[in-house]
Amino acid sequence: MERLQVLDVSDNDMSQLPAEIVQLRKLRVLRLNGLGLMTFPLQITSMVNLEVIEMSDNCLTNLPDDVVVLKKLAALMLNKNRFKTFPEQTYGLTSLTTLEMNGNRMKRLPEDVNRLGQLQKLRLDKNLIATLPEALTELQNLEVITLKCNDFKTFPMELIELELSRMKCLVLNKNDLDYLPIQVCTLLCLEVLSICGNHLSLIPDEVGDLASLRELWLCKNALMDLNLNLCSLIFVEILDLAGNHLQRLPEDLGNVRVRELYLSRNQFEIFPAQVCELLNLEILSMDENKLREVPEEIADLKHLRVLALTQNDFEHFPVEICKLKSLEELYFGGQRKRIGGVPEEIRVLTNLKKLFIEHSGVTSLPVTVRNLGSLRELKLPGNDIRCLPNELCVLSGLKLLQLQDNRISRLPENFDDFCYGRLKDLSLQSNPLEFPPLSVCVGGLRSIRSWLCKDRKRKAKERK
Q: Are strands 306-308 and 329-333 parallel, antiparallel or unpaired?
A: parallel
| Domains of the chain by residue range | 1-95, 291-464
Domain 291-464 has CATH 3.40.50.2020: no
- CB-based contacts of 462: which residues, under 8 Å, 6+ apart? none
Q: Is 448 exposed, middle or buried (0-12, 13-18, 19+ CB in 10 A)?
A: buried
pLDDT, position 268:
97
pLDDT, position 162:
58
- Looking at residue 256, its amino acid is V
Calpha distance 61→82 (Å, rounded): 5
Calpha distance 368→392 (Å, rounded): 9
- CB-based contacts of 97: which residues, under 8 Å, 6+ apart? 74, 75, 118, 119, 120, 121, 141
φ, ψ of residue 140 to 5 degrees: the values are -70, -15
Calpha distance 51→53 (Å, rounded): 7
CA R_g for the chain: 28
447 to 406, 419, 420, 428, 460: CA distances (angstroms)? 21, 10, 13, 13, 20
pLDDT, position 419:
64
Q: For the residues of 261-303, what is the DSSP string, one character each?
A: EE--SS--SS--GGGGG-TT--EEE--SS------GGGGG-TT
pLDDT, position 403:
97
- CB-based contacts of 438: which residues, under 8 Å, 6+ apart? 428, 431, 432
The DSSP output letter for 135 is G
Calpha distance 188→238 (Å, rounded): 18
State which fold the 1-95 domain adopts. 3.80.10
Q: Answer yes or no: same fold for 1-95 and 291-464.
A: yes
Calpha distance 362→381 (Å, rounded): 10
Phi-psi region of 369 (alpha: psi -120 to 50; beta: other; left: phi over 0): alpha
pLDDT, position 212:
94
First to last CA, the chain: 73
> 166, 144 in Cβ contact below 8 A?
no
- CB-based contacts of 443: which residues, under 8 Å, 6+ apart? none
- CB-based contacts of 380: which residues, under 8 Å, 6+ apart? 357, 358, 362, 365, 402, 403, 406
The DSSP output letter for 381 is T
Output the tens digit of pLDDT for each of the chain's 464 residues: 678 999 999 998 887 888 888 888 899 999 999 999 999 999 999 999 999 999 999 999 999 999 999 999 999 999 999 999 999 999 999 999 999 999 999 999 999 999 999 999 999 999 999 999 999 999 999 999 999 999 999 999 999 875 677 899 999 999 999 999 999 988 999 999 999 999 999 999 889 889 899 999 999 999 998 877 777 788 999 999 999 999 999 887 767 899 999 999 999 999 999 999 999 999 999 999 999 999 999 999 999 999 999 999 999 999 999 999 999 999 999 987 889 899 999 999 999 999 999 999 999 999 999 999 999 999 999 999 999 999 999 998 999 999 999 999 999 988 887 766 789 999 999 999 999 998 999 888 889 989 998 888 888 887 76
